Amino acid sequence: MAVGARSGAEGPEEGPVTPGGEASGEGSPEYPRSPGPPGGASGDADPGEPAASDDAASPRRARRRRQQPARQRSFWKELPILVGIAIVLALLIKTFLVQAFSIPSNSMQDTLQQGDRVLVDKLTPWFGNDPERGEVVVFHDPGGWLEETPSAGGPGAAVQSALSFIGLMPSAEDQDLIKRVIAVGGDTVECQEDGPVLVNGEALDESEYLFPGNTPCGDRGFTRFTVPEGRLWVMGDHRQDSLDSRYHQNLPGGGTVSEDDVVGRAIVVAWPVNRWSFLPVPGAFDSVGSAAAGLAPSGLGLAGALPLVLWRRRRLLRREVAAEAAAVEAPAAEAAAGAPRAD
């Protein structure tokens, strides 16, 4: 036996480990060489390729992975993020910009109907703007205006509580009212039973917003009242169906509402769609001047007359002093004129 000699039948055992990827049995009809891709490049997916070929193909695989587009995130994974962003935005809008309120009664007919949804401006008060006459405002119960209502339970109450927290529904626990500002701090307001409302002595023409068939005071007239500073006198547009400042004069503040209790001004009716409208200040309040403005002409007249009175008084004093001096000098002059002269 010849040591180290191997027959041609053992060629396949050496083929896989031959450098360059060529089998020792090359040229043998039993093991023909498989054709490679054009240009002599070896394929990178052939399982019979040697380890050296795998090392050469790895950079190409890395480049292909980098060139593949990134997988898009699933919609269901993005949905909680979108909901969270929406809730945060709703909270910011409710706290600083606008908030929706539902009208629970008929006290503001025909301007507002029961079931209307209004948007209330909460941004303006942050800049120090005080409520003005004629504005429709939402305010917290000053105390004693509303009866305590028991809170309802169940799933419906939980849903309403959650939606009201983010400003999509009014809260069942909030004790808020909506009325029109008639007079502000420093104003005088009065109304006889059959007469108009007088603000600083000016009669209001309320036909633009008063409920048809109502009188300005209804059956609840009141005598002249001076609104304290920082407070508001409010009334509903449906005077015969509104428990407003007229009915709470026995409470602290004389029936007025503190400006600190005002949530904001109702600016638009947002729902239902067929009642969409703005809530402007009626023209009836354009002619109403402030109480200070009513005193301004007399004050200016007094200020202008004071210098004139002082000048006239000073002139009279000068005349009196001159007359007294003349009266003293006259006898002395007569005595000097009647005395004999020494020659």
Domains, in order of start, for the chain: 100-145+156-293 (2.10.109.10)
pLDDT in single tens digits along all 343 residues of the chain? 443 444 444 444 444 433 444 444 444 444 445 454 444 444 444 444 445 555 555 666 666 666 655 566 677 878 888 878 877 777 766 666 788 899 989 999 999 999 999 999 988 776 778 999 999 999 999 988 987 655 555 666 566 666 665 555 555 556 899 999 999 999 999 998 788 999 999 999 999 999 999 999 878 899 999 999 999 999 999 999 999 999 999 999 999 999 999 999 999 999 999 999 999 999 999 988 765 544 444 444 555 556 666 666 777 777 777 777 777 666 665 666 555 554 4
pLDDT at 172: 52
Question: How far is Cα of residue 126 from the mean position of the Cα atoms in its chain?
Answer: 8
Q: Read off the tokens for 211.
A: 């409920």
Cβ atoms of residues 164 and 190 within 8 Å = no
pLDDT at 129: 84
The rounded distance, in Å, linking the Cα atoms of 243 and 39 is 97
Q: Read off the tokens for 284.
A: 């009836």
Long-range contacts of 92-99 (CB under 8 A, 24+ apart): 93/167, 94/122, 94/166, 94/167, 95/122, 96/122, 96/123, 96/126, 97/121, 97/122, 97/123, 98/122, 98/123, 98/264, 98/267, 99/167, 99/263, 99/264
Q: What residues have CB less than 8 Å from 239, skipping those under 6 apart?
A: 210, 211, 214, 215, 216, 217, 218, 220
pLDDT at 132: 94
Query: Which amino acids are annotated catalytic?
Result: 107, 179
The structure's pTM equals 0.59
- Annotate 178-205 with DSSP letters as a single string: EEEEEEETT-EEEE-TTS-EEETTEEP-
The rounded distance, in Å, linking the Cα atoms of 216 and 248 is 17
The rounded distance, in Å, linking the Cα atoms of 105 and 313 is 66
pLDDT at 296: 42
